[in-house]
Amino acid sequence: MSKLARTSRQIGTIIQRTRKQRGWTQAQLAERAGLRQETISIIESGEKPSKLPSILAVLAALDLEFTIGPRAKGTASDIEELF
């Protein structure tokens, strides 16, 4: 199932949920992505800017992909309901 994310916090939430569904710790995901655990924490929180290559490495480690498409016409509350 596709998940819609428009903010860094929403991307982080998707990453965190997927990691937890797999039963992985942040350290395990970091090892698989070739990053530090602290970087995973920053990405999942979405509070600080993260480098795109780091986000892509995490997505690859989780077997997820980044897709770009036209912005859907929906309200902010429609998107928030996904999270």
Model confidence at 79, in pLDDT bands (50, 70, 90)?
Answer: low
Q: Give the per-residue pLDDT at 71.
A: 83
DSSP characters over 40-78: HHHHHH--S---HHHHHHHHHHTT------PPP---HHH
Query: What whole-number distance in Å separates Cα of residue 58 and Cα of residue 34?
Result: 9
Would the pLDDT of 82 be above 70? Answer: no
The residue among 38, 39, 46 whose CA lies nearest residue 12 is: 46
- Span 8-60, pLDDT tens digits: 999 999 999 999 999 999 999 999 999 999 999 999 999 999 999 999 999 99
Q: Give the per-residue pLDDT at 80.
A: 60
The more confident residue out of 58 and 6 is 58
